[in-house]
Amino acid sequence: MYLERVSLILPGMLREGGTDKNLESAMIITKTPFRMSFFGGGTDIPEFFNENGGAVLSTTFDKYCYVNVRHLPRFFDYSTELTYSKTERVTKAEDIRHPAIRNAMKYLDMHEIRLTYEADLPARSGLGTSSSFAVGMLDAFYALKGKYADKKKLADEAIYLERELCQEAGGLQDQIAASYGGLNRINFNANGYEVLPVIISPERKKKLNENLMMYFTGFTRFSSEIQKANQISAGEKKTQLKEMLALVDEAERILTDKNSDLDEFGYLLDHTWKLKRKTGAKVSTSDIDLMYQTAIDAGASGGKLLGAGGGGFFIFYVQPDKQDAVRQAMRDLMHVPFEFENGGTRVIHYTPENYILKQ
């Protein structure tokens, strides 16, 4: 999906009995976090969890995408302007090439709007960026309509937008994490999902945060392409995925049991990464394997690529006394400090305006 920088301008027409209709509108800005998934990734795909159940352990953190929506002043001779790495100007919403915006506009019957998108981190990097955008966009659209959409509604509709309307391959965890926010266990089965906050003391959570180091590989990729290449075939990957699912229980136990050694979390990350590598040919590459081993040799207890694999960001668990050595060994990669966040998507700006929809 196209998610680097997006500006959308779409004037349309709403007509009621052939007369203009006054509309109390607003400028809306939503702020939606990105997520990092520690354990259970891949078990959130319906083909797996409908039969076997699924669960992920993930958190959102303080890197965000921002969606700004307002009605468009009518000074232009085109009906749609869409800007990301290039600019599109078309006369019909159907001609918009950005699939998520095109389908969301149709789904919610949006007209006469300007939408801009910006983000703290690059797209296609394993952090659920496309899903965060989808959640934030839907949140902004509902706010512009003067309607409230709770977190479950936003997660459900973002899943529908990406998986059904846009036909993007992948799991369901990203949309849920972006909507709800926080450090959660998300369970999946044939009847739906449930979001369970991980019960952990603030001190222990802070220590976990401080022991995690995130690095950008420099490679970006389309998650849907990796997912398609690594799709589950009957019996072929179930053994690894079932073991990855069992690690969610163990990881949650480590976090919630104050008598457990938190460093076990790092060793468990190493275990899940080795399992993840077996689930598809495009999960890792020789360059990625070398980066990972460099961090381990320098003192990291374990780590993994975030997201579907193939590039993006590494997360490593590193004890404080070994972080300088890891930082030196990984000096050719960008280190991205972060802090956990708990809010999920939210409207951070609302300015009323009087607007008259065009005949």
25-29, 170-174, 273-277, 313-317, range with the lowest pLDDT: 25-29
**pLDDT at residue 320 is higher than 80:** yes
pTM summary value: 0.88
At 96, the pLDDT band (50, 70, 90 cuts) reads confident
pLDDT, tens digit, 9 for 90 and up, residues 331-358 = 999 999 999 999 999 999 998 766 666 6
Residue 187 lies in a domain: yes
- What is the spatial distance between Cα 253 and Cα 258, in angstroms, rounded to a whole number? 9
Residue 1 lies in a domain: no
pLDDT for position 220: 61
pLDDT, tens digit, 9 for 90 and up, residues 1-38 = 444 444 444 443 333 333 344 444 578 999 999 999 99
* Cβ atoms of residues 319 and 263 within 8 Å: yes
Higher pLDDT, 146 or 163: 163
Which CATH number fits the domain that encloses residue 19? 3.30.230.120
- What is the spatial distance between Cα 276 and Cα 105, in angstroms, rounded to a whole number? 36
* Domain boundaries, position 156: 6-357
pLDDT for position 204: 97
Q: What is the mean pLDDT of residues 249-266?
A: 97
pLDDT for position 307: 75
* Cβ atoms of residues 121 and 63 within 8 Å: yes
Residue at token pair 């990092």: 36
pLDDT, tens digit, 9 for 90 and up, residues 210-242 = 999 999 998 764 444 444 444 545 466 788 899
pLDDT, tens digit, 9 for 90 and up, residues 107-144 = 999 887 888 999 999 888 889 999 999 999 999 999 98
Average pLDDT, the chain: 86
Question: What is the total count of domains within the chain?
Answer: 1
Beta carbons within 8 Å of 257's beta carbon, 6+ residues apart: none
Higher pLDDT, 8 or 187: 187
pLDDT for position 85: 67
Measured in degrees and rounded to the nearest 5, phi and psi for residue 280 equal 180, 150
- What is the spatial distance between Cα 35 and Cα 186, in angstroms, rounded to a whole number? 13
